[in-house]
Structure formats: C-alpha cells, structure tokens
Amino acid sequence: MPPVANSESASAPGARPGPARAQCPYCGVGCGLELKPSDPAPEPGPASWSVRGDRQHPSSLGQVCIKGATVAETLNHNRLVQPQWRERLDQPFRPIDWEQAFAILINQIQHTLASSGPSGLAMYGSGQFLTEDYYVANKLFKGALGSNNFDANSRLCMSSAVSGYARSLGSDGPPCCYDDLDLADLVVLIGTNTADCHPVLFQRLLKRKRKTKEALQIVVVDPRATATSDAADLHLAIRPGTDLALLHGIGHLLLRQGAIDRAFVDQHTQGFAALDTLWQAWTPERVSILCGIAIAQLEQLAQLWAGSQAVLSLWSMGVNQSREGTATVGGIINLHLVSGQIARPGTGPFSLTGQPNAMGGREAGGLAQLLPGYRAIANPAHRAEVERHWGLAPGAIAAEPGLAVWQQVEAMERGEIGLWWVAATNPLVSLPWLDRVRAAAQNCPLVVLSEAYAGTETAAVAHLLLPAAQWSEKAGVMTNSERRITLCPAFRQAPGEARADWEIFAELGRRLGFVSQFGFDSAAAVFQEFSALTAGRICDLSGMSHGLLADHGPQQWPFPQGCAPGAGQARLYGDRHFPTPSGRAQLVAEQPLGLAEPPCDQFPLVLTVGRYLGHWHTMTRTAHVERIRQRHPVPLLEVNPADAAHHGLVDGALGQVRSRRGAVSAQVLVTDRIRPGTVFLPMHWGASQEQACEANRLMHELGCPISKQPELKAAAVTLEPLTPEPVIQETPTLKALV
Ligand code: SF4
C-alpha cells in the first residue's frame, strides 16, 4: 500500500492539499476512503473534496455507501468555531476565548473536587473520538482527576457485546474477520439490519450469495422485514424481546439431533451440564408460542446450523440494546461453542460495531468500567499497571468502576454531578427518556459540550461550548469491527479556533498540574504511549505506530512488537485457548426474562427503533446532504395493517405514538413488513429537525444489569390518528419499504 499523505497539522489556509486516505467516520464497517481536493482552495474559503472508496483498504476494497461517499459535503456546514459561554440556560451564548474557557473548566473542577470529590466529575464521550482522544480523556479523568466517570455513547451501542465476550470467552474482542463472510456456508444475522446499518459488509455478503446461491444460506432474525431479510433464505420475524428464548430453542434441537461437538465441549468449555439442563426445557412448542414463529421455522434453522460446515453469526443493536443483552450475546456464543463453530475460518460470533471507532474506545478503556488495553478497573493488578504507565502514585485510580451514562443522568438528578462534559455526541437525541435527561442536565451547575457542529440538541442544555476539530482536521487512528486499525491523517485545516479533543484534554491536564503526564506534542506521541500500554494484552498493538500505519496501511491486531506489516492476526483463539483462568470458554445458562416494559391494555404495542441507510445517528452531519435528505425526507411510523385498522390510522396520514413518557408524531406507513403488535420509528430526527420526531423520548431507561446498556429497542406504546387523510407525498424511503 502506498504511503498515506499524512501530517499532524493540516495544510495552510489557501494551500492546495494533497490526496489522503482515511477510514470512513461513520459506521463500524470502517471502509477506506480516498479523498482528493476537487478544486484549488478558494481564498480564503475551504477546499472542496471528492471522495471515493479506497481500493487498497483491505476491509472494503474500494466499496463505499451513500454516507461515506457524501461525507465531504458535511465538513464545512454549521461549524462551531469559537468557545461560547453562558452562565444560565435562559441566556444567549456569548463568544469567549480559550483562556476564559479553561479558566471556567478549572474553576468548576476545583470547586467540585472540594465540595463533592472526584465522583462529582463526569464525561460522556463518543465512538466518534479517534483513539488518541479516547486515551487522553481516560488519562485525564481516571488518572489525573481520580474519577472513573468516563463513559461513551458506545454504552448505547455495543457494551452488551463487550460484557458478553468477556464473560463467555474471557476477554472482549470479536474473534472473526470480514473474510469469514466469504467462507461461511451459514450466516445468521440476528438483531441487525445490516443492509441499512453496515451496507458495505452486506453488499459483500449479497455478492457472494448471488454467486454461490444454495452454497450460502442466510438467515435473518428480526421482527421487521428489511432490506436485509429480503436477501434471506429464512426470515424469523420473532416477537421483540424473545431472542434468547429462540437461541435456547435452537440449542434444544441441537441436543435432540445429537449435533453437539462433544470433543470441543469437553476440551475447551466449561458449564455444559447447566446449559444442557436449561435447554431441555426450551422445547420447540414453547419457543414457537413465545417467539411467535412456526415450529417448522425453528427446526429449519436448527437443521441448517447442525448441517453447516462453517456458521457465522452477525449481530448489532437488536441484540445489544436489551435488558438481557449480555445474556443474549452469551446465548449466541453458547451455540457456537457447543457446535465447535468458532476459531476456524468462516465461523464465530461476530458483533458488528455501530460507531466508526467504538472498537478503538474499547482498546483505550473508553467505558466507565474499563482501563486501556482491555483492562478492568475492578482488577487491582490492572489499576497498578496503568498507574505505573501513567506516572501516577499507587491508588490514584479509584477502585470502583465509574458511572455509566444513565447512572450519570441519575446522579445529576440527585445533584451529585458538578461538571457533566459531553464530547462528540448528542445525548439529547440518542439517550432514552429524553425529557428526563433534559431535566437532569438542567440540574447540573456546569454542562460542557465539545462539538464540531453548532446548534445540536445537546447545546440547548450546555453552558460552555468548546469547538472541536473533527475527523479530517486532526490525525489519529480508528479501529473497525474486524480489529483493523487505520491511520486517519489531518488533511484539512480546522475552522476558526477548533482544536482536537485530545489537545483540549491534554492542555487541561497540564493546567491542572500534570505537566509531565500530558506533555504530548503530537497525536503520534499519544498513540506511542497508548500502544505501549497494550503490550502483552489480547489487544496487543504495541508493534504499531503512526509511521508504520502511514507506510504500510491498515493493520489488524494482535500486532505485538516486531510484528511484520500485514502479519497481524485475522482471527482470535485459533489455538482453542481462551483467556479465562481455566483456559476454557464459559457456557452460560440463563432463563430469558423478556421485555422490561411488556405491552399491556393501555399500551398494547411494542415500539422498536432503528436506522435508515442514508442517515447517521442524530443527523448532525447527514441532514446537510441533499442526496440523503431527498432519500429520507421524513421519519416514517411503520404499522401493520391490522394495528392501523384497530387504531384508526391511515397510510400517509399523521399518527401519534404515545408511551408512558411522552408522545411523538410521524407520517404513517401501513405495511405488512412489520409484524402485528410491533411498530417502528427511525431514531434520527431530534427536536432541532424540521420534522422533529424524538423516538427515544418514548423509550424507558431500564437496561442490562451487567452491561448497563439501555433497552432502546423496545417500549410499550399506543397509537392515535392525528389526521384523517394522507398529508405527505410519497418518498423514496417509503417506496423502498412498501
Ligand atoms: S459502510 Fe459504513 S464505513 Fe463503509 S462507507 Fe458506509 S458508512 Fe462508511
């Protein structure tokens, strides 16, 4: 791979920048992009850039979806270019300089430390961070400030996958790679609309399906028919919240068919007896009734599983965003372990990450219970290793895991948080029960928002706005779902006074007196310190540097010191040794619990939420792309014909969805592609959008007790008509869905 046009600092204003290669800053597929300046930069305005897929990126081989292809159109829109401040939320913001901004931060940090101690400080970061941002933020909060209250929006996305992998296999880390899509003969997609949410990966699967036909079987488990299920040989439209029962039902049939790999179970796992007992009770009849599917469908899936040479499971938020997310991840891994469908090419339990660098966040310790290098705060030896590496006194890192994001919200309600610092995310759209989040934030004396963009919903509850440089304006790395790390160079000038997040955190650290700990002079130096801390860990990437990535292109970990470029490991656990105390994987036997908020007489339907192909999360960027706006101009409330008739809703009219926490309205799409009893809304449209439809306003806060991931995929709701007649024109999204 040719060298990347990399630099720590972007081109001078007005200069004609060179071509650059980077990972796409949207989803966790992590496609390679090649960006070229399309025009000489106008004086003094920013250059425009053309984007195409990078054919030399090993994860995507030149493929790109509409989001990646249009990312350059989003970079200059609506930017936050100067720090801004207001003492009270009913005041307008006024511009300030960075000196004043740091003074406000330091004053509040010192005041909070004196009055409440370190637990009064909290940060909520983002899978949009580069790994260097994550690392320095963690070092600042968990190291210098002594507060483990650093959490990230990955909590909403894949923390159940983290805890599920760790519990069953002994460590976080997807054991598979994208090449496994080309080698499996059965691919089970459960709780993932891959076609819309991980489109380039899905196209790879589709291409192979067209070529190999019956040699590849695709099974989709989703209450809703989607572009993903359209490509499936078998679609199991289960009731929301019954995934774990379905998995146990497959286990029951594997037992009945004698399709257990006894040698693998005996040599490489523990806990089979308890699982055997549990599975005996999950008969096809019981599973069929609970999941709302035919026994024949369940049997077909079990037969496919038992008869396939290589089974690959893919999942994302449909599994993770559940009150039993960790248990369901364990249920998927159980099936792979008992059938020996793991640690071989084409096999394995493969969690697809939502955010572009949520994987990098996991590596850098970017959740409230983690430390860098897949270490746990609860582990005294891990804390001591990190304290030594950070040059801090023993005991500097608090022994208790910090507050996950919903716990941060609850702590703000109780008045226990003196500083809530939100960075590169928009929780006033993406968290559940938005009215409660808003009220909690309003109860916090200082809410800081580091953002690249102006006017997000979260800015409405902030006192201090800090302009952040974004992807393309700062150097750093991202890790995609297959553990591949790509260097993303700074190839554009950050606007105004915007600064890289890691630079802001490091500057604050120095001003707080931690001069030697935060003396980084470049992102490459940050990465060097971080990568050294991963040596000997399962996510060992100590052999990588910015220079190596620039010279040799993206690399997969494990990549220890001395590893040759291209020699990182594509798969984990090839030796069948798992990083548990016994070296064996743990089978987990848990009874399904169902939904935390099941439907009832007053709220008889289950609302599930999801994403559209073109939009990214809270639309901070994609709302500015005309092609995407045209494709998805409005949010659509998908309702089964029987439910629409029962509640008096008409296709194309406006309908209201109401839960125990509030109500939102949207254009109704009557479609039999969603099962009766379930309705769907996209989660993208926040309060600032013209067609506001805050789907997450309706969702409850209850989540998985292990992963602390909220059950954002299901809440009990009811429907009411708002208009008797159709009001809005047909849209491309609507055409695609009908
Ligand atoms: S599939 Fe994901 S990573 Fe690839 S171009 Fe699309 S949004 Fe970007």
Beta bridge partners of 351: 315
Q: Is 478 in the pocket of ligand 1 (CB under 6 A)?
A: no
Distance 30 CA to ligand 1 centre (A): 6
The predicted structure's pLDDT at residue 38 = 78
Question: What class does CATH assign to 20-74?
Answer: alpha beta
What mean pLDDT, rounded, does the chain reach? 95
Residue 3 has pLDDT above 70, yes or no: no
294-312 average pLDDT score: 98
Which residue out of 27, 193, 684 has the highest number of ligand 1 atoms within 8 Å of its CB and is therefore the one to mutate? 27
Q: What is the pLDDT of residue 15?
A: 44
Domain limits, the chain: 20-74, 84-155+356-522, 159-351, 605-737
Task: Say which CATH topology domain 84-155+356-522 has.
Answer: Rossmann fold (3.40.50)
Show the CA angle centred on residue 149, arms to residues 147 and 154, nearest 5°: 145
Q: What is the pLDDT of residues 669-695, one digit of tens each?
A: 999 999 999 999 999 999 988 889 999
- % of the chain with per-residue pLDDT over 90: 92
List residues bridging with 422 in a β-sheet: 124, 449
The minimum-distance atom of ligand 1 relative to the CA of 33 is 5
pLDDT at 8: 54
Centroid of chain to Cα 249: 28
CATH of domain 159-351: 3.40.228.10
Q: According to the model, what pLDDT value does residue 463 have?
A: 98
| CB 718, CB 603: distance < 8 Å | yes
In the predicted model, is pLDDT for residue 170 greater than 80? yes
pLDDT tens across 566-577, in order?
999 999 999 999
For residue 616, the ligand 1 atom closest to its alpha carbon is 7
Residue 45 has pLDDT above 70, yes or no: no
Q: What DSSP letter does each residue of 438-505 carry, written as one string?
A: HHHHHTSSEEEEEESBSS-GGGGG-SEEEEB--TTSS-EEEE-TTSEEEEE---SPPPTT-B-HHHHH
pLDDT in tens, 586-621: 999 999 999 999 999 999 999 999 999 999 999 999
The arithmetic mean of pLDDT across residues 43-70, rounded, is 89
Is residue 4 over pLDDT 80?
no
- Å from CA of 26 to ligand 1 middle: 6
**Quick check: 733 pLDDT over 90?**
no
Identify which of 63, 157, 194, 198 to mutate to test ligand 1's pocket (most ligand atoms within 8 A of the CB): 198
Tell me, in angstroms, the distance from the centre of ligand 1 to residue 66's CA. Answer: 8
Looking at residues 696-719, what average pLDDT do you find? 98
What sign has the CA pseudo-torsion 182, 184, 186, 190? negative
Domain 605-737 in this protein, CATH class:
mainly beta
Q: Give me the percent of the chain exceeding a pLDDT of 70.
A: 95
Q: Is the omega angle on the peptide bond into residue 175 within 30 degrees of 0, that is, cis?
A: no
Distance 688 CA to ligand 1 centre (A): 25
pLDDT at 221 over 50: yes
Q: Which position has the token pair 């902030």?
A: 462
Full strand arrangement of the beta sheet holding 419-423: 94-95, 84-85, 464-467, 446-451, 419-423, 121-125, 150-152
Half-sphere exposure for 146 (CA within 13 Å, toward CB): 17
Q: How far apart (Å, rounded) are the C-alpha atoms in residues 243 and 327?
A: 10
CA of 374 to the centre of ligand 1 (A): 26
Q: Please check the confidence at residue 42 and state whether its pLDDT lies above 80.
A: no
pLDDT in tens, 77-87: 899 999 999 99
Three-point CA angle 74, 489, 11, nearest 5°: 80
As a whole number of angstroms, the distance between CA 622 and CA 45 comes to: 21
Nearest ligand 1 atom, CA 200:
1
pLDDT band at 725 (very low <50, low <70, confident <90, very high): confident
Asked if the model's pLDDT at residue 314 lies above 80, the reply is: yes
- Residue 729, pLDDT above cutoff 50: yes
240, 608 Cβ separation under 8 angstroms: yes
